[in-house]
Amino acid sequence: MAETTYREAVRAAIDDAMSSDERVFLMGEDVGHYGGCYAVSMGLLEKFGEQRIIDTPLSESTFTGAGIGAALNGMRPIVEIMTVNFSLLALDQIMNNAATLLHMSGGQFNVPLVIRMATGGGKQLGAQHSHSLEGWFAHIPGLKILTPATVQDAYDMVGLALKDPNPVLVFENALLYNDKGELDTSAKPLPIGKAKIEKEGKDVTILTYGISLFKSLEAAQTLAEEGINAEVIDLRSLRPLDDETIMASIAKTHRVVIVDEGWKSGSLSAEIMARINEQAFYELDAPMARVCTAEVPLPYAKHLEDAALPQADKIVETVKKMVGVS
């Protein structure tokens, strides 16, 4: 067990995978000589060379398509897209090819492709570089969607994604890259599709993922000081969702708040609410609630951006209103 940063954990996972399997390679914009837009791949070009750490042109559709072709031919590519906003330029490749070829070929052709990308706001990068669209991708059958929040998951999820025979998208919140935590590279990872209870409680369930996990844990600490014992669950995987863990927690607490950095309309939080309505409606003692990003393009000004994003004080306010404490 050693302390490291989220960035170093992702880099170590890529390094380990490339060292143990010659089929694994990394490609994307500035991943080689520059070391990655967020310095995740710093030093890997010098270690593995230009045949396996590949700088690409600024053409997300082209290099994502190249990754699909390589995966179809037995390789294990990791494609890095700078931000989730730019992934829209590769949406045709991701949705119409990577996600569908297994089904369209009658099960003959798997696409074992890993796509990593930065997501999330809070960096004052404006409306074209700050969105959280992982909920959109979780809508698409044929894809698996992972959202590592902790340093351990930042490492584990790269390996899990590479072992999966299907396309897996890994969304790394850019504000987490400098965060430190404990990493055990020998630990057995939680599988894809399994949520984790980060804090047990009995009064309300808070469902969340990514950077909102830490805002939810901060809120739970504040609520505990006021006598409200919140259970906080890190979803980890948005497709597939861990319905079993979600419904078991609601059967215990009978109240639920969903914290989702996506917009509220048509969101992942809306999908989770629908599932709870279908599977655990009679367990609820109060209407469900959610804390999401305000329905605006994310502002550049810091005070406006902070106001638009889910924050710990908003979570506390929402929970207190739900349990009838003002």
Identify the pLDDT of residue 123: 84
Put residue 2 in one of left, alpha, beta given phi > 0 → left and psi -120 to 50 → alpha: beta
Instruction: Determine the Cα–Cα distance for residues 250 and 252; give it in Å rounded to an integer.
Output: 5
What's the whole-number mean pLDDT along residues 141-170?
98
What's the whole-number mean pLDDT along residues 97-110?
96
| Of 251, 313, 265, the residue nearest 293 (C-alpha) | 265
What's the whole-number mean pLDDT along residues 166-184?
97
| Of 77, 139, 136, the residue nearest 112 (C-alpha) | 77
Give the residue numbers marked as catalytic: 60, 129
- DSSP H helical segments within the chain, as ranges? 6-20, 44-48, 60-72, 84-87, 91, 101-104, 134-137, 151-163, 212-225, 243-253, 268-280, 302-308, 312-323
What is the tens place of the pLDDT at every residue in 269-325? Answer: 999 999 999 999 999 999 999 999 999 999 999 999 999 999 999 999 999 999 887
Task: Find the radius of gyration of the CA atoms of the chain.
Answer: 20
| Of 297, 319, 13, the residue nearest 148 (C-alpha) | 13
Identify the pLDDT of residue 4: 97
Identify the pLDDT of residue 276: 98
